[in-house]
Amino acid sequence: MDTANHFPFRSTATFAWRSVLFFVLYSLTICALYAWAGWTFLAMPFVPIAAIGTAVAFYIGFKNNSSAKRLWESRRVWGELVNASRSWGVMVMDYVGNMDAPLCCSADELFRTQQMLIYRHVAYLNAVRIQVGGRHNCFDPSDSAEDLRGFQSQMDKELSMFLHDDEVEYFMARQNPAAQIIRRQSAQLRELRMAGLITEFYHSDMEHILSDLYAQQGAAERLKALPFLRQYAFNSYLFVCLFISILPFGLLTEMAKLSSWHIWLTVPFYTIIAWVFYTMELVSDTSENPFENNISDVPMKAICRSVEVDLREMLGEPSLPQKVQAAESILTPVKK
């Protein structure tokens, strides 16, 4: 995710120069054919072209607004996951204890139980991140064998950092590892309740947190599985291409009314207008899928690492991983 208040000129030029070069060459070709080859029939009335441009602008505005809502909802979902995670950490540290059975377990055993609940939750967040991240759904039948191996390798690596090998093997054999991790958390809460390590009220309170986590995971999966409506996305791209294609012919007419040399002003004016429309379409296109780990997407890795630091600090661990740092205003992962 880009954390800067604005894009530097260098970054803008990096992704814009190809389109700008195409617009310049395209308009130059049309002007040259009009001026030097005598193809005066290329000049078209500007009024219908302007009407098309107005309609396209409204259409792109609708698409940008809808894409921004998807991006904002995805950020809200991860914000709720963060809030629930911190609440879970507090409850684990304060609720789990020798209340109904004072001699049930030692302080070391109690700490290991709390640590297991915390670590398993961090593993859960990373599992959700991996499942909704990237360009493919987890275990989607349409995924290639290479995509599936890459997903499994990444998931196995992340889970192995926080879970025992037997749990990793169990979760990796499931279709939805994140959902099964929450199921295991609930099962352990029941075991702790039976052992007298949490009260009935505390048990109910912690189960509500697990239910909230399921709800937010489901919202993230919905955003991933249901992309922006294709009829809007594709038609927007088609309309922008159509408008950009015919715009120089209308500008040529207006510039020719001034003088013969004014027709060359078609090039800079067309390039600016075409680039603006193209960029608006590109912005909406990159915002409609917020979990693909692009620079404008939700920084899921940074969020997971931040929660991990918070929860492990609640455990009192002296050695904590570094939070994800911004390099040139882009949040990038750092090694543990």
Say whether both 147 and 213 belong to one domain. Answer: yes
- pLDDT, one tens digit per residue, over 85-129 is 999 999 999 999 866 555 567 788 889 999 999 999 999 999 999
Residues 57 and 196 in one domain: no
106 domain residue, yes or no: yes
- Threshold 0.95, pTM exceeds: no
Assigned domain for 292 exists: no
State whether 271 and 281 are in the same domain. Answer: yes
Three-class SS state of 138:
coil
**What is the per-residue pLDDT across 44-75, written as a single tens digit (0 to 9) for each?**
999 999 999 999 999 998 888 888 888 899 99
Are 59 and 71 contained in the same domain? no
Which of the 8 DSSP states describes residue 315? T
Whether residue 258 is found in the same domain as residue 159 = no
pLDDT digits (tens, 9 = 90+) for 133-143: 865 544 444 55
Residue 269 CA to residue 272 CA, distance in Å, equals 5
| Alpha-carbon gap, residue 90 to 109, rounded angstroms | 18
Same domain for 319 and 207, yes or no, is yes
Number of domains in the chain: 2
Is the residue at 1 inside a domain? Answer: no
Q: Is residue 328 left, alpha or beta, with left meaning phi > 0 and alpha meaning psi from -120 to 50?
A: left
Kindly tell me if the per-residue pLDDT of 26 is higher than 60.
yes
Domain hosting 59: range is 9-65+236-287
119 belongs to a structural domain = yes
Q: Establish if 191 belongs to a structural domain.
A: yes
Task: Output the average pLDDT for the chain.
Answer: 86
Q: What radius of gyration do the chain's Cα atoms show?
A: 28
Which residue, chain included where needed, has tokens 């169990």? 170
* Co-location of 210 and 263 in the same domain: no
Contacting residues for 167 by C-beta, under 8 A, at least 6 apart: 120, 159, 184
316 within domain boundaries: yes
Question: 185 and 311: one domain?
Answer: yes
Average of per-residue pLDDT across 27-36 = 93
Verify that 166 and 314 share a domain, yes or no: yes
Note whether residue 294 is domain-resident.
Answer: no
103 and 182 assigned to the same domain: yes
Residues 58 and 73 in one domain: no
pLDDT digits (tens, 9 = 90+) for 168-207: 999 999 999 999 999 999 999 999 998 888 999 999 999 9
**Per-residue pLDDT reduced to its tens digit, 246-267:** 999 999 999 988 888 889 999 9
Nearest to 268 by CA among 64, 27, 56, 1: 27
Do 23 and 56 belong together in one domain?
A: yes
